[in-house]
Amino acid sequence: MSDTPRMQTNIREGSMADIPRMKPEQLKEMLDRGEPVTLIDTRTPDDWEASDIQLPGAKRLHYSELEARLDEVPREGTIVAYCT
């Protein structure tokens, strides 16, 4: 069993303060265990292109588009949104 904090958060009703945070090491452990994780890269296209950090399999959704495009985010497993 994972010690990763789990919480259901409704983006339309909650605040960003309600969303649990995790360290990169925790994410790596989850991925190593094969847990279902959806990665969402919230950077702008320019920031993404300029970065040397691009996680394989991550879905690129700028944070300003998240609410409008929630139907594209799988509901199974853990959802991890990140920027660098």
Mean pLDDT of the 3-31 span: 69
Mean pLDDT (whole number) for 28-36 = 94
20-82, what's its fold?
Oxidized Rhodanese; domain 1 (3.40.250)
- The model carries a pTM of 0.71
The pLDDT tens digits of the residues spanning 36-53 come to 999 999 998 899 888 888
Residues 37 and 29: beta-carbon distance below 8 Å? no
| Residue 2, pLDDT score | 44
Sequence-ordered alpha helix ranges (H) in 7-71: 24-32, 45-50
The position carrying tokens 């790596």 is 28
